[in-house]
Structure 1
């Protein structure tokens, strides 16, 4: 915990001083492929990045649910992180065979296991639709503004994708509403697991090592894309380089950073600091304790709690770091200064000032509505069900039935005609459901809803009736048949009539409670998200007028390219080296969790080259969602997979400090060494090397 305390002090004294204006550090930026600063890279590093290079990398970059990946062979082979495929390894596991614990190995392509719910997307084209999206919202406010924009986005997506099979279009907002672009993807729905190591080596060191360095994690896995029940032909892929990079060599990360808030106003950051993050952390902390307690009941309970606990602990640590940044006076003072500078430049331009008004004041006013509605919106809408798959499926079925009965332009955005195939895929693919975890998550959500909204709230009375949270959760989970994909398909195909006629208790629960959730969603769009989005677009207009496109947009889980170099860092007199080597793994191992090695690694110790680079760090600017991103050298070869950031990077949601922010990477050298000498995956290595 010492690192967190010191991190919030001296480092942040100068951090983010120009975060809202222009990049403060040479390697800062999550750049779009159509606005990559190639001239700056050539000036800073002497490396020429031209359009063919960018096109090759774009064609090999892959987006999977919640993570990034890359094509590494002509036969659809994909590199990503092990923690990005845990859902798949868990789903493929069976009685007596725990692939999460023991690893997943294949000898032939016929052994590759289809990952339920998994999709993979490769970006094909980018189309600017800013004019038509902004025109749709002209003269509208609140919920009407939100609905008009969403309808225009759906039209743009349908027009550009034109119902071509295997294509998906997504409208993405950049610069907080300053630009809108449709990204068209080649979409693969048949994604199969090829290789995943044991959890104990993929996440060696567990939570104590998480967001720290040195690290000794083989956080890697391989998938394969299939097309027509055959491995997909993927002639554009990244060449596998089995050698570790040298310190100081240039690196690129091509991936899909999930979300950053570097362009938020000061009032929005204050709301996150004082309300949004603390409430979330309180609930994560309590649910974490419940999962730990559940896992201590026995080995089977520990197994099934492992995945949700892993994600929860990771999120808790992320938001702990973010809270520390927002609590730092130097950081907030720097943000205020940057905002004041931009506002002063706008005020000095009468024409620009007249065009945009005072959007900062509009956003500040919306924070009152945010505070008034946040708890009920969180509990009834944005966090409803708290991770329960059964609840999520029930809500999708209910809302899809209701929305599909409306004209396309009047639907909720997720249920626009062009987006229905993705919703159907998510809903209908077989997914494992553990009743004990489902009940635990539902009970926690019901308890917190009653606690936060009070027992007298009409919505709480509707939710609970005369039931206690534990009794209601147990009854809903035990009685639901939605774990069966055939049941979900029948309800999806049957539409609203079938949903209304269903006697499934989870369906009936959502039918009864969803009107309250929809009502608070409408209030939120009218008083919070609608006014905020509109004002943010005005601030983006001001930023473009003053600074142009020399600043990169906030992360939006869309394809970006960052650049940097292999480098360690120094902090308060301590030097952290850029590399760890396989030999150091044995010094870290204790035989006790989370520093216990799988038996395969113990058996292979004498075969392994102790000098092989295991993990390394670089100055690349990343955030969550970049997990699994290929780390690429100047030649366009893959040299590793990003799987984490260091402790200092936890403030990366709000800014970047090139002195101490680092990306943590598992090297292709370590992956190749392990595949060869620990796992005996000769055919996989030959495919990677193009033999």
Structure 2
């Protein structure tokens, strides 16, 4: 019976699409049979082989995952990489100093020797993928517990990884799809010598700041450029002065021909996470319990950080990247709450689930699917309050360097104390360097304020079962954690570079494990990961039920979703340039693009979000746009498409039907913030930087024409 069901699922997956053309994040290996005809009708001029080929150069060879969390593309035969400014933000901040503030002022390398190497940055090339579903699922049966099933799957995954890693040359990732009903493996090659080539000033790369984030109309030059280096034979190599720019198998030509309403647009990238199969009860949990705690905890941390960042440029640089990450998700989660509530997404899902439950309890299906919905709903009922608690803790960990200190530096210190003298001598220089790096990223007044505030918020709002140490401190100090935190920072070895290095000279396990901040961190983390037997049992039933729900929805055809959720694997999405309804805030004739005129209208001198370089104002007044102006004379900034993307697609190239670069994806619109859970065909948009604006900024504004000359340009 189960083999028959799997065969039906396979048929459903390759049957003609029931989803809307612009909905879906598709595997490249399935483009020919699933999408190509549809894409051709919309304007694609490439063959499937030109998009994805194992044996020949193709588009996939120009797309890389950027530092594990974004996407980038190769745009020259000399390894030049284009991604978002916010994707390169951490590396740019790391390379900046108050004397050479590349975040604030921008940077353009005049020569290869001027390209700057951050300490930790890599790009990941996609080599190939293949279906491992039959092989992996042949190792499991219906009588296994979820733990036994996972162990059997992991054993087979380890074999697949070893068979395909080329003796260590490649990274192999085997990933589940459709909630563990299918498995595919992906082969990658990583390059770690990646150097900063150029970035516009922050007033351009982040124009609009938090106010405009997730909003349209936008006027943001969200891009930065790097270069990939390898050894003389083009292989990955650690940083070395004699490494040479990588010659990629394929690089994207840049089109200066612009975009029009209805033009075909496809995006290739590494979308991070969607939950289109999430049950209604899961949506309710997020909207009512998890996300409100996330929003409140994030705002607490942001406000504490910003107070000190506004007072000191050194502190601002130190916390710029962390603040940006927290702020991005803070607004995202509030937008999710609003959009999911407005669109009554849970209610819509619940209607489908009611139909599914009726189907599941038919005589032929009951043995397999009969308890699926009750197991799922029982799990969420049991964990709703805990999800609120966990999100308050999670935002503490995200905003405080000391919330997780016992598992970061603390764990390495503990291993150091247990090592023999020879091993200590070997690793001590690296440990001392780790200490130095840690204090480049923490400012104690910020950390004290953030930790005190987050502990107070957690103690007052988390509700169920506080961690034992926090509960005790809250009771003893009437919810005020300032006294404890001040004393802990005075006593802890982790708040002094000198004390930490002195510990490395005379390591002592008792000193470490009795450190007040180590004790607090261990208490918080142990509590965060602790599960009662009741929750653990419910979670096992839930995991099986969720997998069966997805399987059953596909078999029964009650779901129209034919593509797997995003999980940071390479996908293609396609759609068109598509306007939103007319907006009086946008001066454009059609509300699918924005102009330099609209950007200047937002200009506020010395404002942290809407300031602009004076040079840009002067160039605007002179209409000094060069060959990058639109045929109608204006300077384009951003444009809209209706592609289906999510986080991780930041930096993804937007391509026309010929496979030419027309833009760079960097954001979505807040009206469609529910897009990670349900696709909204009417409202969902991708916000892109027009590549003509990128080229103008490099060539005319920055005077880095030598970089433009490196590109393959069509016009």
Report if TM-score (shorter chain) is over 0.5. yes
* Maintained 8 Å contact 1:305/1:437: no
What CA distance in whole angstroms lies between the structure 1 residues aligned with 2:150 and 2:98? 47
What CA distance in whole angstroms lies between the structure 1 residues aligned with 2:337 and 2:442? 33
Alignment of 1:226-237 (within 5 A): 226-227=229-230, 228=237, 229=240, 230=243, 231-237=245-251
Residues paired across the two proteins, number: 643
In structure 1, the partner of 2:546 is 536
In structure 2, the partner of 1:407 is none
1:687 is paired with a residue whose SS is: coil
* Maintained 8 Å contact 1:391/1:506: no
* Maintained 8 Å contact 1:291/1:309: yes
In structure 1, the partner of 2:398 is 386
Counterpart selection for 2:591 from 549, 574, 577? 577
* Maintained 8 Å contact 2:265/2:657: yes
TM-score of the superposition, structure 1-length normalised? 0.82
* Bigger Cα Rg: 2
In structure 1, the partner of 2:642 is 619
* Maintained 8 Å contact 1:203/1:218: yes
In structure 1, the partner of 2:112 is 109
Alignment of 1:145-294 (within 5 A): 148=151, 151-152=154-155, 155-156=158-159, 158-162=161-165, 164-227=167-230, 228=237, 229=240, 230=243, 231-294=245-308
* Maintained 8 Å contact 2:272/2:647: yes
1:57 and 2:59 are equivalent in the alignment: yes
How far 1:463 moved relative to its partner? 8.4
In structure 2, the partner of 1:608 is 625
What CA distance in whole angstroms lies between the structure 1 residues aligned with 2:103 and 2:269? 25
Counterpart selection for 1:660 from 669, 683, 692? 683
Alignment of 1:329-348 (within 5 A): 330-347=344-361
* Maintained 8 Å contact 2:640/2:686: yes
* Maintained 8 Å contact 2:293/2:392: no
Alignment of 1:430-509 (within 5 A): 432-435=440-443, 436-451=445-460, 452=462, 457-460=467-470, 469-470=481-482, 473=485, 479=492, 505=515, 508-509=518-519
In structure 2, the partner of 1:420 is none
How far 1:642 moved relative to its partner? 0.3
RMSD: 4.0
How far 1:86 moved relative to its partner? 1.0
Q: Cα 1:400–1:371, aligned 2, differ >3 Å: closer, same or farther?
A: farther
What CA distance in whole angstroms lies between the structure 1 residues aligned with 2:617 and 2:533? 58
Q: Cα 1:443–1:67, aligned 2, differ >3 Å: closer, same or farther?
A: farther
Quick check: 465-474 or 252-261, which moved more? Answer: 465-474
What CA distance in whole angstroms lies between the structure 2 residues aligned with 1:94 and 1:636? 39
* Maintained 8 Å contact 2:488/2:517: no
Quick check: 151-160 or 107-116, which moved more? Answer: 151-160
In structure 2, the partner of 1:38 is 35
What CA distance in whole angstroms lies between the structure 1 residues aligned with 2:201 and 2:107? 8
Quick check: 96-105 or 474-483, which moved more? Answer: 474-483
2:684 is paired with a residue whose SS is: coil
Q: Cα 1:439–1:151, aligned 2, differ >3 Å: closer, same or farther?
A: farther
* Maintained 8 Å contact 2:664/2:688: yes
1:555 and 2:563 are equivalent in the alignment: no
2:647 is paired with a residue whose SS is: coil
Q: Cα 1:251–1:33, aligned 2, differ >3 Å: closer, same or farther?
A: same
How far 1:45 moved relative to its partner? 1.5
5+ residue gaps, structure 2: 1-15, 231-236, 417-430
1:395 and 2:407 are equivalent in the alignment: yes
* Maintained 8 Å contact 2:74/2:248: yes
1:25 is paired with a residue whose SS is: coil
How far 1:428 moved relative to its partner? 10
Counterpart selection for 2:659 from 628, 632, 636? 636
5+ residue gaps, structure 1: 1-20, 405-423
How far 1:533 moved relative to its partner? 2.3
What CA distance in whole angstroms lies between the structure 1 residues aligned with 2:342 and 2:98? 50
Q: Cα 1:62–1:571, aligned 2, differ >3 Å: closer, same or farther?
A: same
What CA distance in whole angstroms lies between the structure 2 residues aligned with 1:217 and 1:515? 39
